[in-house]
Structure 1
Amino acid sequence: MTDFQDAKALVQAQYADLLAATTQDVATVLARRMTADALWRGVDPFGVVAGPDAAAGAFWGPYLRSFAHVKRREDIFFAGLNEIDGFSSVWTCSMGHLQGLFDAPWLGIPATRKIAMLRYAEFTRVEGGQIVEVAFFCDILHLMRQAGIVAFPDQTAQHLVQPGPLTGDGRLLTPQDAAEGEKTLARINTMIGSIDAANRDPRARTPREELLENWTEDFTWWGPEGIGATYTIDRYIEQHQGPFRQHIADRSFNGHLCRMAEGTYGAFFGWPNLTITNAGAYMGVPGNDVRADLRVVDVYRREGEKLAENWIFFDTLHWLGMQGVDVLGDLGVG
């Protein structure tokens, strides 16, 4: 059994210190555990930067200027070895919401002076007792909707401030049975293989037959803003899988940067995962022939032999930007 407890403690200590940080000292707080050249990836418009000063400048400083009394409402936390590099690196995955009072404009989005919940998923690579790499995803469109700006009013599924696991056991702060993590990762890999097979021959199985191999009948899919959340295999097909496969063409899988599991939880992210063509006006964006990159996070909960819950994050602003759509600018808030 691999012991991830030191890595977990390091990242949790970093999170605790960030809650007490200010715009003046957040770079110093980050530097306590981040190496000087640590790679920090953020969804658009934050970008990819190196080092704690740059990470503070890209995200944490502006965020803390706009949101007061920030709390990290963490629903899922676990660690694992990264399958993509041959299980040689240790990563943690944290998912939930950053809760705060939206007291000053952020990214041009007008402040509400009300509670706001920023959906996030954060992957952290730990090496030699320090943080050497971070990938931070958040759902900016979801926050915009809380501020009254509905960029995609015709999304096919449901807007919700999304809860954590139904079982309430998503924060794995203690050691887990390694066999359970291997079982979760195997199921995730089988599911990826099912998608690949469907892409090669969409007529070999029906969507329902494809999904039943890896998902419980009543699984919940917690999708990003612009698509929304959906529930049960049939409604998932109707409200996400069907529209996506109907409107998106020429899907190319680019792979993942991290894919891991611990206990009954697993996750992956890519940079980008997919390159796709929005041929059929997906999400209301006019159809085009642009090959646009989609950076995606999937976080999973396994129940028994199958996957029962799935939380999804897209770097939607990046994908749209490659198609010439500037969501913040076009809405007059950027």
Structure 2
Amino acid sequence: MPAISDADRRWMHSALARLARGDLDLLASNAVADVAYPFGRISNADVALPWSQLLRAMPDLERRDDIFLAGENHPDARWTGPRPDRMVACCGSYVGTFREPFAGIPPTQGVVQLTYGEAHHFRDDKLSASWMLWDLAGLMRQAGCWPMAQPLGAPGLWPAPRGGAGVRLTASEDQGTLERVLKMHEGLNSFDGRDITSISMDHWHPDFMYWAAGNIGACRGVAGFRAHHQIPYRRAFPVAQGAGHFIRVADGPFAVTGGDVAVTHLGADYMGIPATGRDLRFRVMDFYRFDDDMLIAENWLPNDTLGLMAQMGVDVFARLAHLTGQPRLTL
């Protein structure tokens, strides 16, 4: 398969910036998108709705990619939905003055950042397929109206990769990063259900940074990762298994995967919600930066926190409406 040319990389990077400024003609008439809750799976003319609503809320919207990767989308037989053969993946934030409500979140009249992880496929100079994890939980927190328990990790906005070079507008040689990521995923699946050290961390730098969106939060190093994310997650979901990736792309010292994790909420509470006994799907993307020793030095985790909570039976938007002066008045 031919590599994505440098000219194509620059054009797609520019096209996404133009889209954020309102050039919705870049959307194909038959486009499809899978967007974080509450938007969900949309197609055709509806694909413009998240963009148009965001632009109405933040008229001076600016897109800032901290990571931009492009390349062959390596196969995953577990994924049964649409899966283009070449994709771009982006991690960063939309910046703007929050003037009007967005998805029920009240405006602040000040500058906010809506962090994102996205994957896109362009065909015939049109955006034809997208997967977009916009961190609405983080936006609620900036608006001072997050209605649920606080994250166990450190909340806030993630930085760009250390050393820069996250925006890859020039093709790079394959450094084997994707193979190492998939090997690391095998280690995550080695959990014996009892001892957290049964999960191998051999592919991680001892002081790696974990930048998690939603209601997880940031943590540092193997000990911090286990304390603030891995142990609470595994106590809540003793049964957890990757259910397939819609994207698997490597680009220089970076790699990205994105898909669903199938979990069963049988154990402890998670994000303040008691065990429901339900089978759930948690949509995530993982962006990885490897250091010179080919260890994972940074991991960004855009995720659909609100979609997970909705499956648990918690309507975060109803709680948000109540806290902002619009409680339900009937059963």
Structures share a fold, TM > 0.5? yes
Cα-to-partner distance string for 1:260-285 (whole Å, 9 max, x where unaligned): 11101111111x33233253111110
5+ residue gaps, structure 2, are 78-82, 327-331
Residue 188 to residue 106, structure 1, CA distance change in 2 (3 Å):
same
Q: Which moved more, 1:153-162 or 1:165-174?
A: 153-162
In the alignment, the residues of structure 1 paired with residue 222 and residue 150 of structure 2 have an alpha-carbon distance, to the nearest angstrom, of: 21
Aligned length: 316
Match of 2:135 in 1: 139
Alignment of 1:241-280 (within 5 A): 241-270=230-259, 272-277=260-265, 279-280=267-268
Equivalent residue, structure 2, for 1:220: 209
Q: CA deviation at 1:253?
A: 2.4
Instruction: Choose from 20, 25, 35 the match for 2:28.
Output: 35
Secondary structure at the residue paired with 2:189?
helix
Q: Say if 1:291 and 1:88 are closer, same or farther in 2 by CA, change over 3 A.
A: closer
1:256/1:273 contact within 8 Å kept: no
2: CA distance between counterparts of 1:106 and 1:204?
Answer: 42
Deviates more, 1:119-128 or 1:2-11: 2-11
**Conserved 8 A contact 2:20-2:61:** yes
Q: Equivalent pairs: percent with the same residue?
A: 28
> What SS does structure 2 have at the residue aligned with 1:54?
helix
Q: Give the deviation of 1:153 after TM superposition.
A: 4.0
TM-aligned CA distance change 1:330 to 1:152, over 3 Å? closer
Using the TM superposition, give the Cα deviation of residue 227 of structure 1 relative to its aligned residue in structure 2, in angstroms. 1.5
Offset of 1:292 from its aligned partner? 1.4
Distance 1:6 1:130 in 2: 16
- Please give the alpha-carbon distance, in whole angstroms, between the structure 1 residues aligned to 2:186 and 2:169: 30
Whether the 8 Å CA contact 2:172–2:252 is kept in 1: the answer is: yes
CA contact (8 A) 2:61 2:97 kept: yes
Partner of 2:73: 82
| Distance (Å, rounded) in 2 between the aligned partners of 1:116 and 1:328 | 19
CA RMSD, 1 decimal:
2.1
Distance change >3 Å, CA 278–CA 63, structure 1 → 2:
farther
Counterpart code for 1:105: P
Q: Distance in 1 between matches of 2:200 and 2:148?
A: 29
Call closer, same or farther: CA 1:260–1:30 in 2, change over 3 Å: same
TM-score (norm 1): 0.88
Q: 1:316 to 1:154 in 2, by over 3 A?
A: closer
Give me the whole-angstrom Cα distance separating, in 1, the residues matched to 2:236 and 2:196.
20
| One-letter amino acid of the counterpart of residue 247, structure 1 | A
Summarize deviations over 1:139-158 as a string: whole Å, max 9, x none: 11101000012334442110
How far 1:242 sits from its partner (Å)? 1.1
- Tell me the SS of whatever aligns to 1:282: coil
C-alpha contact 2:149 2:271 (8 A) present in aligned 1: no
What secondary structure does 1:245 align onto? helix
Q: Secondary structure at the match of 1:190?
A: helix
